[in-house]
Amino acid sequence: MNLGLSIPMYNEEGNAERVVIRIVSHLERLNIDFLLAVVNNGSSDGTGTILDKLSEADARIVPIHLQRNQGYGGGIMAGVNALLIKEPDIIGWIWGDGQVCSTVLSTLYTECANGTDLAKTCRIQRQDGYLRRCISTVYSINMRTLMRVRTPDINGCPKLFRREFFSQLQLESKDWFLDAEAILKTEKKQGIIHNEPVIMEARTSGKSNVRMATIVEFLSNMIRWKMKRY
């Protein structure tokens, strides 16, 4: 079996090389055939140049350059759509900031290889900023109470899917709601979900793009989802 992994990056000049090399090294040790779609999501720093150099050294790293930032979901799906053409057995995404150790990929990959529809992380400890933790807490409470989501930590990442199952989801979100949409649709289809506990590490470079406006975006998406689905 093989793996297709989308890695979105927006102004991750300080993280890009370290994150990609760690992922490659880990997957190589596991003898997993893989293809990485590294997405330069409209970065204004040197992220794109770094990704091009990594690709020159390893053909399994495929850079995708978006002239303008396409949002969280838009960046992820740009990589995913490029990977789907190659028809990987397992497909998904991982953050480009390096806050979740890539070693968890082995467990998630094995889960999907054994028949799990969606294998993801569940952050049991977080070392990110106070604002991001607060936003995530408010979001999680609303998803459980208003949307009746049963899965913990819906934004937990990496997320890996069996490709056949992923294709049924027909994900549409271009913003931060992509993770929620993936969980909502997986639960609706009664897909098998595995949650792997992880520790979310502190950033070593750059800054989070989660802002107070993200809460408004989350709430707007939830309202639209409720009106569309029910």
Total domains in the fold of the chain: 1
Written as tens digits, the pLDDT of the chain (230 aa) is: 899 999 999 999 999 999 999 999 999 999 999 999 999 999 999 999 999 999 999 999 999 999 999 999 999 999 999 999 999 999 999 999 998 999 999 999 999 999 999 999 999 887 766 666 676 777 777 777 778 889 999 999 999 999 999 999 999 999 989 999 999 999 999 999 999 999 988 777 776 666 656 667 777 777 777 777 54
Structural domain range at position 144: 2-229
- H or E, element range at 90: strand 90-93
Strands 193-200 and 118-126: parallel
Q: Return the HEC string of 28-44.
A: HHCCCEEEEEEEEECCC
User: CA torsion sign, 198 to 132 to 143 to 168?
Assistant: negative
| Euclidean distance between CA atoms 192 and 194, whole angstroms | 7
For residue 67, CA distances in Å to 21, 81, 106, 172 come to: 24, 17, 33, 20
Pairing of strands 61-66, 159-162: unpaired
CA dist list (Å): 194 to 5, 48, 172: 18, 33, 23
Indicate which CATH number applies to the domain containing 137. Answer: 3.90.550.10
